[in-house]
Amino acid sequence: GAVVSQHPSWVICKSGTSVKIECRSLDFQATTMFWYRQFPKQSLMLMATSNEGSKATYEQGVEKDKFLINHASLTLSTLTVTSAHPEDSSFYICSARGGRAEAFFGQGTRLTVV
């Protein structure tokens, strides 16, 4: 299957700082990328959908000024958590889709805000 690389795998940051998470499709062009958040023992919650070169579409209840998403190329999308707080601590997962029906997922990023 297609490969999606997400970096970093885990990050610890201080409250009030910003953290950037990268999602790359390594062997296909991702016309659409999705960002999810997963709480312990729960399913994936869709945060936003982004298309290359366009502004991301955020789900209801997700603060677009706090979770900045950029999809500047067909192989790279980034999620920046701005002014992070402990309640932002979570597991963030990106997903990318190109010409196939299925989406492929990154390895996830464990964010801990202290």
Kindly tell me which of 34 and 88 has the beta carbon lying closer to other proteins: 34
Contacts to other proteins by CB under 8 A: 1, 4, 6, 31-32, 34, 42-44, 46, 49, 51, 57, 91, 93, 95, 97, 101-108, 110
C-alpha to C-alpha distances, 2 to 25, 94, 106, nearest whole angstrom: 8, 14, 10
**Please, what is the minimum distance in Å from the beta carbon of residue 64 to other proteins?**
16
**Please, what is the minimum distance in Å from the beta carbon of residue 75 to other proteins?**
15
CA distance 62 to 29: 26
CA distance 24 to 29: 9
